[in-house]
């Protein structure tokens, strides 16, 4: 009896398993039919041709070998001896930086902070030749300097138009990073930002190019170049505590400064006799200003051009010669463009629009124009 019941139980289980499999098969067929129906009701595929330039493709950068080989001849290593004065005795320190040749007769551009306190300067060319260098001119305000070596028939770099740059453009740096032996260090990155302003130990720098191409100690004074081999900036600073944030003086800012240093040994700048600051959202709200962009005057120098023209503190400069000046960088750039040295000798009248309510007699006005006879310093 036990054996019979056992087989009966096995048979019943077999019948049950067959029924379950049959049910699952029928259900599966129904779901498949439904899925096929759903697919058939889907919208037709788009077969319209897509323009090639709208498709993102995996393209490789061209080799930079020829570019670097061509530019290396224009880049030099700079070694300096710096005399430091102590309490009991003086001692000498060594420093290093980078420069690049701008004229075949030995004129070289670098950073002011690389050579400003140097007692001796040596320049090493790509071929290993070493020359003593003399200072032609220094400009702490822009952190630029020009030195010269007694050489001729040198290959010179050429400046490009930094105003044509856009964020995302490729950028290459070449320099004497960390004074490593074996030749210059090459790094590749992009233009990360434009018209940056930073504050350094020597003051504020305006209209800088920001790049993520690695800039290390020793790179200072080296060129920031495009893939076309044009110098669009002079590497000058990195943001400490951050990664991939370096700055270069733009070529369009540097070019007139370099020419002035070569011609006169100094930079002759326009004198307007005021100090200003950008209008930030906080300043706009705090003082309930009528405009959100411009340069707010924080100080007027007595008997200076701005003072003589009638400008007052808290006035807002919104345009210079009918060209908008939304910030201090743009204002200084336009002021430089109207430098009497760049124009006719002497003083140069400039129209400035003021965008701040002030009282003239019994009239409350929002805007007025004035002429400033810009001087030089």
Q: Given this model, what pLDDT does residue 5 score?
A: 33
Q: How confident is the model at residue 34 (pLDDT cuts 50, 70, 90)?
A: very low
220 vs 320: which has the higher pLDDT:
220
Question: What gap in Å lies between CA 311 and CA 306, rounded to an integer?
Answer: 6
Backbone angles phi, psi at 324, to 5 degrees: -55, 140
Question: What gap in Å lies between CA 222 and CA 237, rounded to an integer?
Answer: 11
Tokens 């006799």 correspond to 273
- In total, the chain counts a number of residues equal to 377
Q: Given this model, what pLDDT does residue 33 score?
A: 42
**CATH code of domain 162-264:** 2.40.10.10
Could you tell me the two tokens for 169? 């453009």
Q: How confident is the model at residue 149 (pLDDT cuts 50, 70, 90)?
A: very high
Q: Given this model, what pLDDT does residue 321 score?
A: 76
Q: Summarize pLDDT for 246-273 with one digit per residue, the tens.
A: 999 999 889 989 998 999 898 877 778 8
Q: Which residues fall within 8 angstroms of residue 93, CB to CB, at 6 or more apart? A: 81, 82, 84
Catalytic residue among 96, 113, 139, 327: 113
131-136, long-range: CB < 8 A, 24+ apart: 131/106, 133/78, 133/108, 136/107, 136/261, 136/262, 136/265
**CATH code of domain 65-149:** 2.40.10.10
Could you tell me the two tokens for 85? 């004065």
Question: What gap in Å lies between CA 240 and CA 212, rounded to an integer?
Answer: 13
Give the torsion sign (CA, 266, 271, 275, 277).
negative
- Over residues 2-25, mean pLDDT: 45
Question: What gap in Å lies between CA 79 and CA 82, rounded to an integer?
Answer: 10
Maximal C-alpha separation, the chain:
129
Respond yes or no: is residue 220 known to be catalytic.
Answer: yes
Whether residue 142 contacts residue 268, with contact meaning beta carbons closer than 8 Å, is answered with no
In CATH, what is the architecture of 270-376? Answer: Roll (2.30)
Tokens 């010179």 correspond to 156
Catalytic residue among 77, 142, 162, 220: 220
Q: Summarize pLDDT for 105-122 with one digit per residue, the tens.
A: 999 999 999 998 888 999
Burial class (CB in 10 A: 0-12, 13-18, 19+), 357: middle
Q: Given this model, what pLDDT does residue 295 score?
A: 87
Compute the mean pLDDT over every residue in the chain, rounded to the nearest whole number.
77
Give the torsion sign (CA, 344, 376, 222, 108).
positive
- Over residues 163-185, mean pLDDT: 85
Q: Given this model, what pLDDT does residue 355 score?
A: 58
Q: 355: helix, coil or strand?
A: strand
**Among 329, 305, 142, 280, which residue's Cα sits nearest to residue 221?**
142
Catalytic residue among 143, 207, 315, 327: 143
Q: Per-domain residue ranges for the chain?
A: 65-149, 162-264, 270-376
Most trustworthy range by pLDDT among 8-17, 152-161, 188-197, 363-372: 152-161
Respond yes or no: is residue 113 known to be catalytic.
Answer: yes
Q: Given this model, what pLDDT does residue 61 score?
A: 65
Q: Given this model, what pLDDT does residue 7 score?
A: 33
Question: What gap in Å lies between CA 171 and CA 165, rounded to an integer?
Answer: 10
| 65-149 shares its CATH topology with 162-264 | yes
Where do the H-state alpha helices sit in 204-275? 251-264
Question: What gap in Å lies between CA 239 and CA 175, rounded to an integer?
Answer: 18
Least confident residue range of 46-60, 75-89, 141-155, 316-330: 46-60
DSSP label of 90:
E
């Amino acid at each position: 009896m036990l054996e019979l019941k056992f087989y009966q139980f096995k048979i019943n289980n077999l019948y049950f398993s067959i029924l379950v499999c049959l049910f699952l098969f029928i259900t599966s067929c129904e779901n498949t039919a439904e899925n096929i129906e759903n697919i058939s009701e889907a919208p037709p595929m788009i077969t319209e041709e897509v323009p090639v330039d709208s498709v993102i493709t995996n393209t490789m950068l061209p080799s930079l070998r020829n570019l670097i080989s061509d530019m290396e001849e224009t880049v030099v290593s700079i070694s300096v001896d710096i005399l430091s004065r102590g309490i009991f005795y003086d001692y000498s320190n060594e420093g290093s930086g980078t420069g690049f040749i701008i004229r075949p007769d030995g004129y070289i551009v670098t950073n002011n902070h690389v050579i400003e306190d140097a007692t001796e300067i040596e320049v090493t060319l790509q071929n290993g030749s070493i020359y003593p260098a003399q200072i032609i001119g220094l400009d702490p305000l822009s952190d630029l300097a020009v030195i010269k070596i007694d050489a001729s028939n040198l290959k010179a770099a050429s400046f490009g138009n930094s105003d044509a740059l856009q964020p995302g453009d490729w950028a290459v740096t070449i320099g004497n990073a960390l004074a490593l032996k074996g030749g210059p260090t090459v790094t590749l990155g992009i233009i990360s930002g434009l018209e940056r302003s930073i504050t350094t130990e020597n003051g504020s720098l305006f209209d800088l190019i920001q790049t993520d191409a690695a800039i290390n100690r020793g790179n200072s004074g080296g060129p920031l170049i495009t893939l076309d081999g044009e110098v669009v900036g002079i590497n000058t600073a990195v943001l400490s505590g951050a990664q991939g944030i370096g700055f270069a003086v733009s070529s369009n800012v540097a070019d007139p400064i370099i020419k002035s240093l070569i011609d006169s040994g100094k930079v002759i700048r326009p004198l307007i006799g005021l100090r200003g600051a950008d209008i930030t959202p906080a300043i706009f709200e705090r003082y309930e200003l009528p405009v959100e962009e411009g340069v707010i005057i924080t100080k007027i120098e007595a008997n200076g051009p701005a003072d003589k023209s009638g400008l007052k503190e808290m006035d807002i400069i919104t345009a210079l010669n009918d060209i908008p000046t939304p910030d201090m960088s743009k204002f200084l750039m336009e002021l430089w463009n109207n430098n009497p040295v760049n124009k006719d000798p002497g003083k140069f009248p400039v129209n400035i629009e003021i965008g701040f309510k002030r009282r003239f007699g019994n009239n409350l006005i929002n805007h007025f124009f004035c002429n400033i006879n810009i001087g030089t310093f």
